[in-house]
Structure 1
């Protein structure tokens, strides 16, 4: 069996949701399409497609394998073009993941710029506040804030991000501004459980404070909204309150006691061998993010 051809047929069946339509578009007979997909399923040892009364859908294993097949076929096409001396243009679908709010505020504009430059491209975003496994979840590029674990992924630092304590001016006028981390014990504390699950807030020079939160929120947006309404102090990443700082509805405190900023990286597999679509997006994103004063200068 020609594995490359079988993968190509599988992708077409999954995209058209029809064996018959895939056969027509690939100029193959219906039995040939069925045979190639069956051979591929036997090869990988898993059911890849399931027939319904109206269409054909990938199984859970098939959906994961579909992403891999698209990537592999794209890389084969790029390799052939490069070997022939042609300029390789970004093509296919690019999958990008980032933290939820960061993705909405800072990655989405980059995606729109990328699509404007490469109108034949397609992009799938996955903005979520958890660590996404790029390979398992079919992602091409991730933006990550914080220290990175050891992995085989390529990482390019694009900047750094402060962790800040903030409150509304009305709260600070009514309750006073804490001069030291220890003074937080006397204040109303608002916490996002997801981002800061530990009750211990750490500061520069080894200072640590165990906070007793008045309010526990499951999103940063909720904690920030409560702080803007004057209900207390919260601790977030600087980018999450940049609009509120600009409009004056929040003010940062304890700036002299902040821990070192967290690194911000673009992460992707395959390094220099990455697909043209990945290289093109990373080049665009690195230039834009490093030029944004919100992220500071990336450390060496």
Structure 2
């Protein structure tokens, strides 16, 4: 009894027509009308304004629709979840990711994923430019740092840490900075930004830095730091192995900025396909 009329109500609300709702539900218009009338009587509220030309939701109807739509979506999702347990994911996945992070972290994990799910086809495009997922037909994007596109759904996969480093040879020649104010006395190896991110007294702080070398390649910046050309700030996946070997020394640990998110971004779609959901969950489980 509690569910009677809910589907009819949602179909009418979305089609703004009793006739169109009846066609899509493959039942008579009279049956749709009876179910809506019974629902309004049970709720003791008017859900629709009815004229000869148009059917529209009342204010109470709009509130009720939002909740009913969520409930029906949840039921659809539950049904798909059961169905998916009995079938393997298959089909094409088109994704994009930043170049270096994609090469080092994402694509190897996708290779492992495809060993388990052989019916999935993956096409990956690596770029440091943010592509339009909808216009260019992407199912998924991997993005780093703060998110700005609120029209997309997002799942956090992990985090990355930025480190300030220099070689022992550089520090022996030019000294070791112990405060942010000392950075302007040093040769800083620049990437695409003119500032580095730090945290001071619990607050995020961007410090403008300068130097005589600028690359848009993290690998080239690491190589420059290893050769003693200056101090660099880079994410962990560029420098960790060199920190562990002693080739690079970590600096200004007390001012290290907050960790940045690693995100899976996908178009807003309440019917996210099984293969995309499974791939996103796999990445979240295996990204360190």
**CA spacing shift, 1:117–1:270, aligned 2, 3 Å:** farther
**Deviation of residue 111 (structure 1)?**
0.6
Give yes or no for contact 2:190–2:210 (8 Å, CA) kept in 1.
Answer: no
C-alpha separation between the residues in 1 aligned to 2:128 and 2:81?
41
> Which residue of 2 is the match for residue 33 of structure 1?
none
Gaps of 5+ in 2: 1-76
> Which residue of 1 is the match for residue 162 of structure 2?
163
- Matched residues, number: 207
TM-score for the superposition, normalised by structure 1: 0.63
Give yes or no for contact 1:88–1:276 (8 Å, CA) kept in 2.
Answer: no
**Deviation of residue 178 (structure 1)?**
0.6
**Deviation of residue 112 (structure 1)?**
0.7
**Deviation of residue 245 (structure 1)?**
2.2
Give the 5 Å matches for 1:269-288: 269-288=267-286
> Which residue of 2 is the match for residue 188 of structure 1?
187
> Which residue of 2 is the match for residue 225 of structure 1?
223
C-alpha separation between the residues in 2 aligned to 1:83 and 1:108?
27
Q: CA RMSD in A?
A: 2.4
C-alpha separation between the residues in 1 aligned to 2:224 and 2:245?
16
Deviations 1:175-195 (A, max 9, x none): 2211011111111111112xx
> Which residue of 2 is the match for residue 11 of structure 1?
none
Q: Identify which of 194, 207, 210 aligns with 2:208.
A: 210
> Which residue of 2 is the match for residue 259 of structure 1?
257
Give the 5 Å matches for 1:93-132: 93-132=92-131
**CA spacing shift, 1:219–1:92, aligned 2, 3 Å:** same
Give yes or no for contact 2:142–2:264 (8 Å, CA) kept in 1.
Answer: yes
Give yes or no for contact 1:97–1:143 (8 Å, CA) kept in 2.
Answer: yes
> Which residue of 2 is the match for residue 200 of structure 1?
195
TM-score for the superposition, normalised by structure 2: 0.65
C-alpha separation between the residues in 2 aligned to 1:166 and 1:185?
15
> Which residue of 1 is the match for residue 236 of structure 2?
238
**Deviation of residue 173 (structure 1)?**
2.2
**Deviation of residue 108 (structure 1)?**
1.3
> Which residue of 2 is the match for residue 26 of structure 1?
none
C-alpha separation between the residues in 2 aligned to 1:251 and 1:165?
8
C-alpha separation between the residues in 2 aligned to 1:237 and 1:83?
37
> Which residue of 1 is the match for residue 27 of structure 2?
none
C-alpha separation between the residues in 2 aligned to 1:286 and 1:98?
15
Which protein shows a greater Rg? Answer: 2
Q: Select between 223-232 and 143-152 the one with higher mean Cα deviation.
A: 143-152
**Regions of 4+ moved over 4 Å:** 81-86
